[in-house]
Every structure is written in structure tokens, then in C-alpha cells.
Amino acid sequence: MSDYVAPLRDIRFVLDEVVDLPKIATLPGYEEATADLVGSILEEAGKIAAGVVGPLNQIGDEVGSTWAKGDVTTPEGWSDAWNALVEGGWNGLPFPAEWGGMGLPQVLNLAVQEMWQSANMAFALCPMLTQGAVHAIELFGSEEQKAKYLPNMVSGVWTGTMNLTEPQAGSDLAAVRSKAVPEGDLYRISGQKIFITYGEQDLTENIVHLVLARLPDAPPGVKGISLFVVPKVMIGEDGSLGERNDVHCASIEHKLGIHGSPTAVLVFGEKGGALGELIGLPNRGLEYMFTMMNHARLNVGLQGLAIAERAHQQALAYARERVQGKPVGWREANVPPIVHHPDVVRMLVSMKTRIEAMRGLLYTVAAAHDLAHAHPDADARKKAQFEVDLLTPVAKGWSTETGQDVTSLGVQVHGGMGYIEETGAAQHLRDARITTIYEGTTAIQSNALVGRSVLRDGGVSVNAWLDEQTAVATALSAHAGLSDLGLALTGAIATARDAVAWLVEANGRDSRLPFAVSVPFLMLTGALCGGIVLGRAALAADAKIAAGDDHDGWYAARIALARAYFGQTLPDVDARWATMRDGGEAVLAVDLAHL
């Protein structure tokens, strides 16, 4: 397996030129995100990712976490790597200084998380979920709960988990059966939760579980779910750790990938019930947990990008060394590496352009988070929040599906050696497979996109967003060297409008139709978003070239990559539209008895 190298120049370009981090740094509370500080943070994070976290990726896959009598042992080196993050204060990067954080923009945190995830996805799940738990407590916890839990969670001294799924309740949270019985100011929690990432581990002395459960008088369905904070070890009034709470790890799962990450079955209440505290108001738990889920969904989308980046780096390194046959059109006597074969070039370029597109999309959503949180103008905050709500399902669904495709191409570039575990290419494919499933499958993301962002207001808001995106197409069209990109993007936006109109019209005929083609619509939207962000990148690169800053051809390569994306992937917009228009009714017409 090749070593991971943080793509710092690529990351910084997207931060500065595509999503305008310097402008975000002028917002109230983000003033410390100066260019020098951002550069220092990215450089140091890259060193830790490459030198500390990355080298543990293969051993995590080969050895995995192990379970014995309720205890979980993570792979060798995991604890030292976690301590390195704690000592550097990395877990607190996006959180307020009052809880020990750095108070820096979420988009910068996402860039750092990308490097952790690329270096070692199984390891990086732990800080990712801990940050999500911090967000939930920060937003909905009482002042006493914040003071009790946040300092140690922000620092990483304690970790956090999200406990939703039960054996009979996968994505259908209305079927949650875990119980919470009042006992003074606390609650006795009983039930079983499955698929709990880092639900048990040996990295920290305490784990803070956020648990969905039902009160005795709760109404049925999702309206009767409350959220509780349940520590693994009880915490005294002075903050010291006391007795072990009644929550135990019954087993960990044996999985296709991410072996280093322990996925726990947790049992609450074998000895009378685990003690927990209610967060917020009764029966509002699902609403509160969605804050953590949406944080996780964006970060799982980031995993699609991150694992694709790692797979591309490995495939490119292999293609530059492997000699196999003389390429078509090669006129020299020597036989060069396979990177010169036209189809290998096609695969590597396809991988790279979609990585650039994913990075631009994901960072755009994170930047919108920052605007929605910190912009002084209420209308600007509302507009940014709409973009977050619209694009989060796309960022999660399209990026993970694309990441899976890219890691598969990584295996293909290796040929037969890609199918051999020793090369490491197969691990990236196996690790990527879960990303389209957990934190809401691709269908769940696409149903949310269609149901909430399109059908809820008849497509009005989505069309308004599409109106704004025409500015990128117009700007491209105004540049002689980029006008072909402007024409293509204009056409793709028009096709997206047609797809939105069809969804609204089809819903009036048969409410099943929009959801029979919701995934093709999500993929259409993702391909379009990729074109928009790479159009911005091409404009920024063109400006750099015009200013005489392209000394090594790097900016010219940005334009070439954008053009390759427009030629290879943007046509997916038309293809997915054809699938929607012609395939929805055809799918529903199939007799299920004959599948």
C-alpha cells in the first residue's frame, strides 16, 4: 500500500478560490482564521495524517478491533494516534473557546477531517462522531449538561457516540423500543442498540452515549422518541469519574471493511437500567438527533471523497511504476509504465476530476454551514441554511456513490494485482462500501431531496437556487477560452429544471413516481453540482493564469481537469434525466411476482 500524502495545494485552492474561506474569516467569531493560521493548521494536519494516522491503516484492516468479555481492544498504535489528536487539540477545532475549542470555521475543520479520513477511515470515525455528539449537546443540552460533558468531549479526553438503531428498527426509527423510566432527576435506560460505531473502545476512560428511547407515556411513532445522554462511567458533581454505568458491549460486528473501527452491540440495563439525563424536551429526541445525523451525513459524504483520494493516489503511484505492454501510439523503443496507456489515463483522469468535484461540493456545504451560523444578516443566514438543507443529501449520496465508483476504478487500474489484498487497493473498495449505507442509505438521501426540497413547495425553491447557479455559466461563457464550458453548464442547468418540473407533474399523477426515480435525480443533481464547482475552479484558475501566477502549469491543469469532467461526467445530467423520464413508470409496471 502506498503512503498517503495530504493534497494540501488542492485543498487550499478549493478553500480560498472556490468557497472563499477568506470571506468567511471576516464573519463574527471567525476572525482568527487568518491565511497564515489556516496554512499552519493544514500543514500540521497533513503531517499527522501522513506520519501518525496513515501508517496504521493497513494494520487496522488486517488485525481489526477485538472483543473479549465486554472489552474492546483497538489495533496497535490506535491509542498513541488518538493521544496525538488530543494533545494537539484537534477535536476542538470548530468549537467555541468557552469549551476549550479553537472557534474556527467548519469548512476548515472539514478540510482537516478529510485528511484524517483519507489516511485512515476506520480511525477517523471516532473523532467524527465525537464532534457530532458535541454539536448535539451544545445546541440542545442544558447549561449544566454542557459544563459537565463538553470540556472533556471537545478536548477528546472523552468520546461520543450516536445510538439510534435497534435489531427491529433499522432506518425505521418509529419502531424504537428502548425505554426510559424517570428516577428522580435521572432516567433508567433499558434496551439494546446495534451498529454503534466506537460504542466500546480502549482509547479513552469514558464514552458519552447519546441514546434514543421512549418515556412511559410517550405517544407511538417518531413523535414519542426522546434523547438521553448516558455516560459509560458515571460522573460526580466535582467532575470525577465514579462507578461503571449499566451499559455493556455484548459483541462487535464482523464487517466487510473498516475493520479497525469497533461496531458495537450495546446493552443498556442488564442490571436494572443505565442512568441517563434527558436532553431538551420530552418527545423531541429525533429532532435533536437529526442535528448529529446531518453532521454525520456531511462527514460520511466526506468519506466518499477521502477514500477516493487515497485510492487515486495509490492507483497513480502503481500506474507510474508498472510496466505492461507498449501503449497504442507509443513510438519510442522502450516500454513505458502503464500510465501512458490511453484507457489507464481515462480511468485516472475520471478519478481525479470527480475527486475535485466532490471536494468542491462538500466544502461548499460546509461553507454554507458557516454562513448560516455566523453571518450577521438574517436573510443571508436563511439563504445559506436552505443551501445546507438542499445540498446535504446530495453531498452525502452522490459523494459516497462516486467514492465507491472511484475506489473500484482504483482496483481496475491495478489489474489482477488490485484483487490481491497485499497491494491495499481492495481495502479502499471494501472500506468505501459502507458509506452509501450508514447515516441513511442513498435512497433515504434522495427521498429527502425530492420530498423536502422539491415537492414540498412545488420546486419553487430549487428553481430559485438554479437561477443563482446560472451566474457561473454566464461567467464561463464570457471567457473566450471557457465559453464551451459555459454552454455545457447552461444546458445542464436547463435539464435540471426539466427534471424538477417532471417530478412535480409526476407526483400529481402517481405519488410513487418521484420516489421511483429519486436516486437518478440525486445523481443528476450531484453531477450538476460538480460542474458548478469545477466551473468556479476554472474561472479562478483562469484569473491566476491571466495574472501571471501559473509558473508550473498547475492552474492550467485545473482548467484541463474541469474540461475533462465536463466531457466525462457532466453528461450524466442528461443520462439521468432520460432515466427519470423514461424509466420511472417502466419500473413500477413490473409485476413483483416475476422479479
Element (H, E) at 526: helix 518-546
CB 5 within 8 A of CB 313: yes
**CB-based contacts of 45, cutoff 8 Å, min separation 6:** 6, 90, 111, 112, 115, 116
Cα distance between residue 187 and residue 195, in whole Å:
23
C-alpha cell at 553: 502549469
Q: Per the residue annotation, which of 439, 468, 505, 585 is the catalytic one?
A: 439
Concerning whether 439 is annotated as a catalytic residue, the answer is: yes
| DSSP structural state of residue 584 | H
Cα distance between residue 530 and residue 301, in whole Å:
14
| DSSP structural state of residue 98 | G
Total H helices, total E strands in the chain = 19, 12
Burial of 393 (C-beta count, 10 Å sphere; 0-12/13-18/19+): buried
| DSSP structural state of residue 326 | P
The amino acid present at 405, given as its one-letter code, is D
Residue among 462, 563, 572, 578 nearest 527 (CA): 572
C-alpha cell at 3: 503512503
Place of cell 443505565: 274
CB 559 within 8 A of CB 488: no
**CB-based contacts of 532, cutoff 8 Å, min separation 6:** 469, 472, 489
Cα distance between residue 190 and residue 192, in whole Å:
7
Burial of 378 (C-beta count, 10 Å sphere; 0-12/13-18/19+): exposed
CB 7 within 8 A of CB 112: no
CB 286 within 8 A of CB 241: no
C-alpha distance from residue 16 to each of 24, 38, 367 (Å): 10, 10, 11
CB 150 within 8 A of CB 142: no
Phi and psi (nearest 5°) for 241?
-85, 140
The amino acid present at 101, given as its one-letter code, is G
**CB-based contacts of 184, cutoff 8 Å, min separation 6:** none
Q: Are strands 159-163 and 207-213 parallel, antiparallel or unpaired?
A: parallel
CB 212 within 8 A of CB 285: yes
Place of cell 477514500: 307
Cα distance between residue 526 and residue 541, in whole Å:
22
Burial of 443 (C-beta count, 10 Å sphere; 0-12/13-18/19+): middle
**CB-based contacts of 68, cutoff 8 Å, min separation 6:** none
Catalytically annotated residues: 439
